[in-house]
Amino acid sequence: MKKSILFAMLFMVAGLTANAQEEKKESKVQHLTYKEFLKKVWDFEKDPTTFVYKGKLPAIVDFYADWCGPCRRVAPIMEKLAEEYDGKLLIYKVNTQYETELAKAFQIRSIPTVLFIPVEGQPMMQVGAMPEEGYRKVVVEQLLK
């Protein structure tokens, strides 16, 4: 009996340690506030008619909300792309529930809405969730070309 309890306790400790290590893994996806967006992506307050990207790497901006089912399906895809293209691509998230001014500025009416930003040229917007292959195709063919 004591061996069973000891074994169960060791199993629980091992599980907790694995979960703690998983939680320590830092996300490469950056959450943006309104002010950070103006600083890192586009200062549309200064010039609302001409898109001038402020970054040095192509970027993806995922407009989402925590309660949105399709947004929750897109989130791990964005995490995977951020990890895979680290140093080549920036991935940002904007929570439309809290960053309502940004959502209004981009006329976000449906989420997820994803903004793809090449270093040079105009951004492209995708409304609705796509499968991973769709995001990957845009990254390879439009952003990293």
Q: What is the pLDDT of residues 41-85, one digit of tens each?
A: 999 999 999 999 999 999 999 999 999 999 999 999 999 999 999
State the catalytic residues: 68, 71
Which residues make Cβ contacts (< 8 Å) with residue 77, sequence separation at least 6? 132, 135
Which residues make Cβ contacts (< 8 Å) with residue 123, sequence separation at least 6? 51, 53, 115, 116, 117
Domains in the chain: ranges and CATH: 27-143 (3.40.30.10)
What are the E-state strand segments in 3-135?
30-31, 59-64, 90-95, 113-117, 124-127
So what's the pLDDT on residue 91?
A: 98
Residue 17 has pLDDT above 70, yes or no: no
Q: Mean pLDDT, to the nearest integer, of 102-125?
A: 96
Residues of the chain by 3-state class (helix, strand, coil), percent to 5: 45, 15, 40
